[in-house]
Chains A and B, each alone.
Chain A
């Protein structure tokens, strides 16, 4: 008799073996542990930082689906109260997106990452220029002089962070935006309220199964 739990374990075992093979053949790829991806001190953590489930969001400021899904995820996270959200600046669609990501990471130095990120994610569309993103951040009330200084003084660090996230995305095999890590699931499409809830529930179930 096959139960879900048993199937899961079997697949996990298979994954383990596949992974080991992968290690043998894919040495040139930088490896990351879940710790390195989900607890990277460079990432902004939102939601409930002490929540029992972690969702990592890989998104781009010129990805309309990311923006649409963000609204849904924010709602789920607020209702749930036990979800830890890790924000991954993953600009892959346009140069303007990369500028936006740099602005967001620079905003972290004045403690306003969330404001900057939310402002830029709130501009609808997929053809947003860097200037429009900057304007939205200005409107969100950031200290622009400070932001400019941080952008310039910390450019090396910010670039390094972006490169690292880029490598993480590659390592995860993400090929499109948005991409998520929900618990131990890898999700490569935008979800809506219902499907986020389902994914979260499944991920929690899997966590309890594993820790049993």
Chain B
């Protein structure tokens, strides 16, 4: 019997099939799955819900347990688990450690076979109505499942499907970004870290010393001085040990920044520029200032014990540690260049401790001159008496100024200048009063009043008021406006717009990452961009200021895109290709000559 001898009815059906075969092919596909001859075994791939069976339970203490039963030879990726609340916020959970899978086609990854249990603890689960979990896995048979999303009703403990969004709407990033010479930069910077650990630490200590003589360290000086004054100069050893604690805290802060950056991929200092942390530090300074004026005594203050002749140790030491650490994180402006160098090293070698040690050495180097200050400072200052009270008061003003400077990043310009005017006028008036309270020393009272008034007028009239007038009432004449073509951007999209617009008309784009709180950026603005020579050189070059003042998702994306650790970072892009011009990048302080030397010759088009 051959194939041809079918019953009439079968032939009939088949002929229908043949005639209409084109339009019904797709329907054949539908069923053809059953015909798959692959592998010679009947391994039809499991559907995702057969491969991973999810159940939910509430445990004794109210913890939520999600249990996946995983089919044989199928596995889930540990790092692909996600849990979110209805409002999109991440819900914390714990997973066991997985097995490590490593093969050339996969790269190393942690996976789960058989089953895996996710725990959401009661504290996180109780306030929520439902949780959405996402998970993803593959089968050793040779397939990968798309991410699967389920909604867990935490009241009924039921699981329901969530339709996974189609990915077609994703926006492709610019493909002409500046990543191509990344490798080149790394190999250039890396030798700094090579070799034995001691030379590396010594190098960073030396770099720190150099940085100490830049404005980077300025904000740290009055803070230490204030602590020393507050402690009352009881002895040289004490003054030195307070300084040492302060400097060690600074160094620890630098190391912490490095470790945090290596772990999170973010420059912690930029994150800390949030209004809340700035306000907190501002409040600390203001509180210190008020205590310096003697309005109240902080519990930890040593002022009382000074008169008793028994210095109180712990309070001041703790204050030195806290202020050294906190002020470095939030106030001190110059972390970018060393952080960039240390992170490159950590990224390349994966050696976190070495990078952290180097940053610690750097911070210690920066603080070393402060030790000298702690050693010598007390010798120049009186030990007791009315003068000391005055100096306490003066440092009160210094702390007020620090508080103002810190919160100036989040206040409107006019308010800052009003406050500065009030502060300086207050300082002048204080001088007036103080002079009049001095014991008789051959100067007539009228002369003292004249000198005091002159001081007031000088401070308020020549410093604060002109600033107030220029900044607030004549905004058009802002001192910052350069005479070149510049645009400020905050997001990657804005950046692309500028890039597209510049492409047709310009050959070079100068990208400047800066921020209001970045002191080095201000110095670069003044010493580089506001010089005639540089402005002449910038003719025909589009300048893009990427503003990093407030930490947002958008501007950190922009930093990632160009591999920028923090402000100030300056480099040139070729407008035609959108690529960074190798060798044009400066991280940290730069002067006009160096900058001009780095302006590339207009690229051949």
**Chain A residues near B (Cβ < 8 Å):** 1, 3, 5-6, 9-16, 18-20, 22-23, 31-37, 60, 62-69, 91-95, 97-99, 102-103, 106, 124-127, 130-131, 134-135, 137-138, 144-145, 147-148, 151, 155, 159, 162-163, 166, 171-173, 175-178, 181, 184-191, 195, 198-199, 202, 210
Contact = CB atoms under 8 A, between A and B. Distances in A.
B172 A97 contact: no
Interface string B47-87: 11000000000000000000000000000010100000000
Contact of B25 (A1, A20, A145, A184): A184
Contact of B13 (A16, A177, A184): A16
B45 interface: yes
Nearest to B496: A152
B172 A102 contact: yes
Contact of B170 (A31, A102, A185): A102
A10 to B, nearest CB: 8
B167 A198 contact: no
Contacts of B18: 210
Interface of B: 1-3, 6, 10, 13-14, 16-18, 21-40, 43-45, 47-48, 77, 79, 104-107, 109, 136, 138-139, 141-147, 166-176, 179-180, 576-579
Q: Is the interface of A mostly helix, strand, loop or mixed?
A: helix
A159 B40 CA distance: 38
A103 B170 CA distance: 12
B168 A144 contact: no
A24 to B, nearest CB: 12
Given A23-B27, A35-B22, A65-B143, A186 B32 contact: yes
A151 B21 CA distance: 39
Contacts of B106: 64, 124-126
Contacts of A22: 27, 30
Contacts of B166: 163, 166
A6 B3 contact: yes
Nearest to A65: B142
Nearest to A133: B175
Contacts of A171: 26
Which of B22, B139, B147, B172 has the most CB atoms of chain A within a 10 A radius of its CB? B172
Contacts of A23: 27
A163 to B, nearest CB: 5
Contacts of A95: 167, 170
B33 A189 contact: no
B142 A189 contact: yes
A9 B1 CA distance: 16
Nearest to A67: B105
A178 to B, nearest CB: 7
Q: Which of A18, A166, A186 has the most chain B CB atoms closer than 10 A to its own CB? A: A186
Contacts of B22: 33-35
Given A18-B31, A137-B175, 8 more contacts: A13-B13, A16-B16, A16-B24, A60-B144, A65-B142, A92-B167, A98-B170, A102-B172
A3 B142 contact: no
Nearest to A8: B35
Choose among B168, B175, B180, B576 the residue with the greatest number of A CB atoms under 10 Å from its CB: B175
A175 B176 contact: no
Contacts of B24: 16, 19
A143 to B, nearest CB: 9
Contacts of B35: 11, 185
B192 to A, nearest CB: 26
A91 B165 CA distance: 12
B146 A176 contact: yes
Given A33-B25, A135-B179, A145-B576, A185 B32 contact: yes
B3 A103 contact: no
B17 A16 contact: yes
Given A5-B3, A173-B33, A16 B175 contact: no
Contacts of A13: 10, 13-14, 17
Contacts of A34: 22, 25-26, 29
A102 B309 CA distance: 76
A89 B172 CA distance: 15
A98 B168 contact: yes
A184 B2 CA distance: 24
B10 A3 contact: no
Contacts of A1: 1
B30 A199 contact: no
Determine which residue in B38, B43, B48, B109 has the highest number of CB atoms from chain A within 10 A of its CB, and name it: B38
Contacts of A60: 144
B398 to A, nearest CB: 47
A93 B147 contact: yes
Contacts of A185: 32, 35-37
A19 B28 contact: yes
Contacts of B40: 195, 198
Contacts of B28: 12, 15-16, 19, 184
Nearest to A183: B32
A-B pairs with lowest CB-CB distance, top 6: A19-B27, A190-B142, A34-B25, A125-B107, A15-B31, A162-B168
B104 to A, nearest CB: 6
Contacts of A173: 30, 33
B221 to A, nearest CB: 42
B26 A144 contact: no
A148 to B, nearest CB: 5
